[in-house]
């Protein structure tokens, strides 16, 4: 047992060294990488991926990242377990293996997995510009470009006496044909201890470091911006009565830009969640959460005459529920309030309501239709508004033609209205409003149990009352993925 732990620690240190050095395996004649799913820096309000409806804050239940604030700062930590691997890879990772005996050497007594993929993408408007004139003014050759992303994921997983230990490292190597200055290597390293203590206690300790480039829909500069997010969390649940649980989580983290691209956007954040959860045998889940979070911008230019904020506090209270109506059909809902207060200028403070309701209907054993309606209030830091209200409607469909072929599609409408008055004496004829429509379709072909091909086509159009914020684009991507 001691040998297993020594090997596990040595492997962790090696992976951390690779992440800190920004490992590049081109010296070995290959280009490899991994998919990054940022915790607390998820999907933008008008990003290329849809915003998932949060179901519950139950530890152990997969949940995808939530909306990114319009100010492009990470959300406070959520009480959840993240997934560094895709859903399909997670299924492979969950296979029973390497449990007994416990004294086998590393690689035999510990479940391991390797994922490799290659993705080619064409984006017709990479920098999300308003038109060809904007590209010319920025000194660019054009608006579109081809991108190649090679990915490698390495994972270890060990179960012992009711405990689960996981370690995942991912590397994404992205290269561009025309805009070579955007080339980057992004690393991700995640370690977790999912613990149990008797029949009533369970929880998780985790440490993460993730790298990802910023979305050009919000980062309005034509240069590379690679952010590094680090986060540490600890949490647990206790079963107080049959079907009833109480839980708490504390977390802290930071985001930095080692390339110096966005020093004023660097942030330190911390949060605390308290949760009451009811999960009866019917399969329904209802959870109530109280969250306290705070953030600080260490590089904000705070002067006597300056107008920058350097610190904020945020309070949230919300309830989430998933209610199964019949086999394959369920109703999902989320309702809550959010308030934010700033240190320097109280006129920036705001309070609002967040809510969403969704419905999933399994029409046939191979066809699933879903719809989601949502309303969110998020911060927006500029001189003419201090928050943004986002409304969205989404339709989705999944059709499994056969066990090996699947088609996913979605259609979304979104409206973001910038509101409030920070009181800086700057006024405009009308406040900013962005409206967007996104349509996407993807086909997945399972070539073998461990190999698949994915082709996707996405089209998005955003119109804004500020002409420079309008854009439209389409992307075509093909990806070959292996999991071993």
Q: What are the sequence ranges of the domains in the chain?
A: 2-483
Q: What is the spatial distance between Cα 156 and Cα 162, in angstroms, rounded to a whole number?
A: 17
Q: Are 479 and 444 in contact (CB under 8 A)?
A: no
Mean pLDDT of the chain, nearest integer? 76
Q: Are 7 and 106 in contact (CB under 8 A)?
A: yes
Strand 367-379 to 387-402 pairing: antiparallel
- pLDDT at residue 477, as a whole number: 94
Q: pLDDT of 433-479, one tens digit each?
A: 999 999 999 999 999 988 999 999 999 999 999 888 899 999 999 99
> Dihedrals φ, ψ of 16, to 5°?
-65, -40
Q: How far is CA 476 from the centre of its chain?
A: 22
Q: What are the distances in angstroms from CA 405 to CA 50, 429, 446, 480?
A: 22, 52, 6, 14
Question: What is the DSSP secondary-structure string of 156-192?
Answer: EEEEETTEEEEEEEEEEEEEESS-GGG-EEEEEEEEE
Q: What is the spatial distance between Cα 166 and Cα 126, in angstroms, rounded to a whole number?
A: 36
- pLDDT at residue 306, as a whole number: 57
Q: Are 456 and 442 in contact (CB under 8 A)?
A: yes
Listed in sequence order, the residues at least 6 apart from 234 whose beta carbon sits closer than 8 Å to its beta carbon are 203, 204, 205, 206, 249, 250, 251
Q: What is the spatial distance between Cα 484 and Cα 114, in angstroms, rounded to a whole number?
A: 5
- pLDDT at residue 429, as a whole number: 57
CATH architecture for the domain at 2-483: Beta Barrel (2.40)
Q: Are 352 and 317 in contact (CB under 8 A)?
A: no
pTM listed for this prediction: 0.76
Q: How far is CA 258 from the centre of its chain?
A: 21
Q: Are 337 and 312 in contact (CB under 8 A)?
A: no
- pLDDT at residue 440, as a whole number: 92
- pLDDT at residue 96, as a whole number: 33
Q: What is the spatial distance between Cα 355 and Cα 419, in angstroms, rounded to a whole number?
A: 18
pLDDT in tens for each of the 484 residues of the chain? 444 444 434 544 444 444 344 333 222 222 222 222 222 222 222 222 222 222 222 222 223 332 222 333 344 333 232 222 233 333 433 333 333 223 233 333 457 889 999 999 999 999 999 999 999 998 998 999 999 999 999 999 888 888 889 999 999 999 999 999 999 999 999 999 999 998 899 999 999 999 999 888 878 788 899 999 999 999 999 999 999 999 998 999 999 999 898 888 888 989 999 999 998 888 888 999 999 999 888 887 766 555 567 788 999 999 999 888 877 788 989 999 999 888 877 878 888 898 999 998 989 889 999 999 999 888 776 556 778 888 999 999 999 999 899 999 999 999 988 887 655 555 555 688 999 999 999 999 999 988 999 999 999 999 999 888 899 999 999 999 998 8
Q: Are 312 and 344 in contact (CB under 8 A)?
A: no
């Amino acid at each position: 047992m001691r040998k297993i732990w020594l090997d596990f620690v040595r492997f962790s240190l090696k992976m951390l060294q690779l992440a800190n050095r920004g490992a590049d395996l081109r010296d070995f004649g290959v280009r490899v990488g991994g998919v990054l799913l940022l915790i607390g820096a998820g999907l933008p309000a008008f990003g290329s991926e849809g915003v998932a409806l949060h179901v519950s804050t139950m530890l152990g239940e997969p949940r995808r990242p939530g909306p990114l604030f319009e100010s492009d700062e990470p959300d406070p930590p959520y009480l959840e377990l993240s997934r560094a691997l895709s859903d399909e890879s997670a299924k492979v990772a969950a296979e029973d293996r390497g449990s007994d005996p416990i004294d086998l050497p590393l690689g035999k007594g510990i479940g391991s997995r390797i994922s490799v993929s290659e993705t080619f993408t064409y984006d017709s408007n990479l920098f999300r510009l308003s038109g060809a004139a904007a590209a010319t003014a920025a000194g660019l050759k054009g608006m579109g470009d081809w991108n190649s992303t090679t990915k490698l994921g390495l994972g270890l997983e060990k179960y012992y006496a009711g405990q689960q230990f996981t370690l995942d490292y991912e590397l994404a190597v992205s290269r561009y044909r025309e805009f070579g200055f955007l080339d980057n290597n992004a690393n991700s390293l995640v370690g977790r201890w999912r613990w149990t203590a008797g029949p009533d206690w369970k929880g998780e300790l985790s440490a993460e470091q993730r790298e990802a480039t910023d979305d050009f829909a919000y980062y309005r500069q034509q240069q590379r911006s690679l952010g590094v997010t680090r986060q540490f969390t600890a949490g647990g649940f206790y079963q107080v009565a049959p079907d009833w649980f109480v839980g708490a989580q504390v977390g802290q983290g930071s985001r930095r830009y080692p390339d110096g691209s966005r020093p004023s956007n660097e942030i330190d954040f911390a949060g605390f969640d308290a949760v009451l959860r009811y999960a009866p045998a019917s399969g329904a889940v209802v959870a109530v959460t109280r969250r306290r979070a705070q953030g600080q911008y260490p590089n904000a230019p705070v002067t006597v005459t300056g107008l920058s904020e350097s610190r904020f506090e945020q309070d949230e209270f919300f309830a989430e529920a998933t209610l199964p109506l019949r086999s394959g059909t369920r109703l999902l809902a989320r309702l809550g309030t959010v308030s934010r207060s700033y240190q320097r200028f109280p006129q920036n403070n705001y309070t609002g309501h967040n809510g969403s309701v969704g419905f999933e209907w399994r029409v046939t054993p191979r066809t699933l239709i879903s719809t989601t309606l949502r309303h969110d209030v998020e911060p927006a830091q500029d001189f003419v508004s201090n928050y943004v209200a986002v409304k969205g409607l989404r339709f989705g469909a999944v059709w499994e033609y056969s066990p090996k072929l699947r088609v996913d599609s979605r259609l979304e409408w979104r409206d973001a209205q910038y509101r409030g008055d920070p009181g800086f004496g700057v006024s405009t004829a009308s406040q900013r409003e962005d409206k967007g429509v996104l349509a996407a379709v993807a086909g997945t072909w399972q070539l073998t149990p461990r190999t698949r091909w994915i082709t996707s086509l996405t089209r998005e159009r955003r119109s804004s009352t500020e002409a420079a914020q309008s854009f439209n684009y389409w992307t075509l991507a093909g990806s070959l993925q292996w999991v071993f």
